[in-house]
């Protein structure tokens, strides 16, 4: 199974620039996200339409908050919700751009600075973390500003579920996730029994417990979220440090059993980011911020043999320093890079898609029939040449939009003694 890395959009000043989080893809093929810089203010909320055009829906300023870095989350009402890093507001924006500040509630003892997107849980509420603040909030001693876990209703009712004070973890990192058992799981980069980070669990009613404390035997500093594998274990990644290597993939049972799964060595990536993403078959995919063939980061797959297989290496043309991977409803993987996208030097939106596989061509009465693997809403075109030695490919079809996991085209002019075909997947 091979993948193609496609650039869908390149960010460039004075528009939104340098995204620090992923995108939300809606059913019509649009993307929504935020950047902490550009757009005419202190960050922007944007939409990239199916035609590839970017529209700034909200410019962040003192009224709306500043520097949004945490990604958006879609509510059950189809609107998008989020919170900027500075300004302590919880906002809602429709896909048409209607913006509402629902409430101002972050800051101090409730926690402040959302660095990771909230999640929508099965109860219809949002759950998230703040990196700083909490019950022990102090303006003079950062040792008590370890962050919080909270619940928010769509209308803005806030419930503090836990404050991190060191012994129970410190500075939560990565997006939360909800397990099939109904509980919410996350990680902290520091704190716990050994001060090297934790995996924690909080129930929707607020019962909190530490599931595991990292002891430093394997590289610690868990800075990414978790995902539930098909085996029921929770998979995550640690960043490590210069003494401990480039990070690892680990798994934790909900009872606290720990196992090392795979290690990053630089060639397959270093310093993993975001959270692992699971496909329909249970295979896991992820991103590393650096490393790979060009040291601009990698996209990788965890094989069934627990090996990290690089499926794409990022470079100056594709964008570097990938941020977060998400899986669209079409089954493809989407994400952003934060810097260096070729002529677009301020980051990109990208797609990782399986390369189409063509079935054997059938020929009848001068017509050649082609079938290939596809995905719903994928746009393809067919090209041909009469000889492999020919320099150029000839465009044969217009834009072909697939409606299922396969697509087809019949060449009614296949009169050459031989004809070679290739299928191209267009960015839009």
pLDDT tier at 252 (50, 70, 90 boundaries)?
very high
| Contact (CB, 8 A) for 278 and 237 | no
3-state DSSP of the chain: CCEEEEEEEECCCCCEECCCCCCEECCCCCEEEEECEECCCCCEEEEECCCCCEEEEEECCCCCCECCCCCCEECCCCCEEECCCECCEEEEECCCCCEEEEEECCCHHHCECCCCCCEECCCCCEEEEECECCCCCCCCCHHHCCCEEEEECCCCCEEEEEECCECCEEEEEEEEEECCCCCEEEEEEEECCCCECEEEEECCCCCEEEEEECCCCCCCCCCCCCEECCCCCEEEEECCCCCCCCCEEEEECCCCCEEEEEECCECCEEEEEEEEEECCCCCEEEEEEECCCCCCCEEEEECCCCCEEEEEECCCCCCEEEEEEEECCCCCEEEEEEECECCECCCEEEEEEECCCECCCEEECCEEEEEEECCCCCEEEEEEECCCCCCCCEECCCCEECCCCEEEEEECCCCCCCCEEEEEECCC
Average pLDDT for residues 291-310, to the nearest whole number? 96
Average pLDDT for residues 13-37, to the nearest whole number? 92
pTM for the whole structure = 0.90
pLDDT at 342 > cutoff 80: no
Six-digit token string for 366? 């001068």
Report the topology of domain 362-425: Immunoglobulin-like (2.60.40)
Phi, psi of 110 (to 5 degrees): -80, -15
pLDDT, position 10: 92
Q: Please give the angle made by the CA atoms of 265, 267 and 268, to the nearest 5 degrees.
A: 75
Q: How far apart are CA 195 and CA 98, in angstroms?
A: 44
Residue with tokens 């809602």: 92
Among 206, 176, 170, smallest CA distance to 188 is for 170
pLDDT at 218 > cutoff 80: yes
pLDDT tier at 241 (50, 70, 90 boundaries)?
low
Q: How far apart are CA 276 and CA 324, in angstroms?
A: 9
pLDDT at 341 > cutoff 80: no
pLDDT, position 416: 78
State the average pLDDT for the chain.
91
pLDDT tier at 142 (50, 70, 90 boundaries)?
low
Name, of 48-52, 82-86, 225-229, the range with top average pLDDT: 225-229
Q: How far apart are CA 329 and CA 87, in angstroms?
A: 32
pLDDT at 119 > cutoff 60: yes
Long-range pairs for 241-244: beta carbons < 8 A, 24 or more residues apart: 244/216, 244/218, 244/219, 244/220
The model's pLDDT over 166-179, given as tens digits with 9 standing for 90+, comes to 999 999 999 999 99
């Amino acid at each position: 199974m091979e993948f193609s890395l496609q650039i869908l959009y390149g960010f460039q000043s004075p528009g939104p620039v340098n995204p620090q989080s992923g995108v939300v893809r809606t059913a019509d093929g649009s993307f929504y996200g935020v950047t902490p810089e550009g757009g005419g203010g202190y960050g922007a909320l944007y939409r990239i339409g199916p035609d590839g055009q970017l529209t700034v829906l909200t410019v962040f300023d003192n009224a709306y908050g500043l520097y949004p870095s945490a990604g958006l989350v879609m509510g059950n009402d189809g609107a998008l919700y989020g919170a900027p890093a500075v300004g302590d507001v919880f906002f809602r924006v429709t896909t048409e751009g209607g913006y509402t500040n629902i409430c101002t509630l972050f800051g101090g003892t409730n926690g402040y600075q959302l660095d990771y997107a909230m999640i929508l849980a099965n109860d219809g509420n949002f759950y998230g973390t703040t990196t700083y603040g909490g019950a022990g909030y102090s303006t003079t001693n950062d040792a008590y500003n370890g962050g919080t876990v909270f619940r928010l209703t769509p209308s803005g009712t806030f419930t503090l579920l836990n404050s991190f004070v060191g012994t129970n973890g410190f500075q939560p990192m990565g997006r939360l996730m909800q397990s099939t058992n109904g509980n919410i799981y996350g990680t902290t980069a520091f704190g716990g029994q050994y001060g090297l980070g934790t995996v924690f669990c909080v129930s929707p009613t607020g019962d909190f417990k530490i599931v595991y404390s990292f002891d430093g035997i394997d590289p610690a500093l868990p800075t990414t979220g978790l995902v539930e594998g098909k085996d029921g274990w929770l998979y995550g990644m640690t960043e490590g440090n210069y003494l401990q290597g480039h990070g690892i993939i680990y798994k934790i049972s909900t009872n606290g059993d720990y196992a090392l799964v795979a290690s990053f060595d630089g060639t397959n990536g270093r310093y993993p980011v975001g959270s692992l993403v699971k496909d329909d078959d249970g295979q896991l995919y992820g991103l590393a911020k650096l490393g790979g063939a060009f040291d601009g980061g990698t996209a990788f797959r965890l094989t069934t043999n627990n090996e990290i297989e690089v499926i794409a290496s990022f470079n100056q043309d594709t964008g570097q320093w990938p941020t977060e991977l998400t899986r669209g409803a079409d089954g493809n993987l989407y994400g952003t890079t934060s810097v260096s996208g070729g002529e677009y030097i301020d980051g990109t939106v990208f797609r990782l898609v399986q390369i189409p596989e063509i079935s054997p061509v059938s020929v009848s009465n001068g017509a050649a029939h082609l079938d290939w693997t596809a995905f719903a809403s994928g746009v393809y075109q067919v090209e041909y040449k009469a000889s492999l030695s020919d320099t150029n490919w000839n465009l044969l079809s217009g834009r072909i939009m697939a409606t299922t996991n396969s697509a087809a085209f019949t060449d009614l002019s296949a009169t050459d003694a031989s004809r070679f075909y290739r299928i191209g997947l267009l960015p839009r």
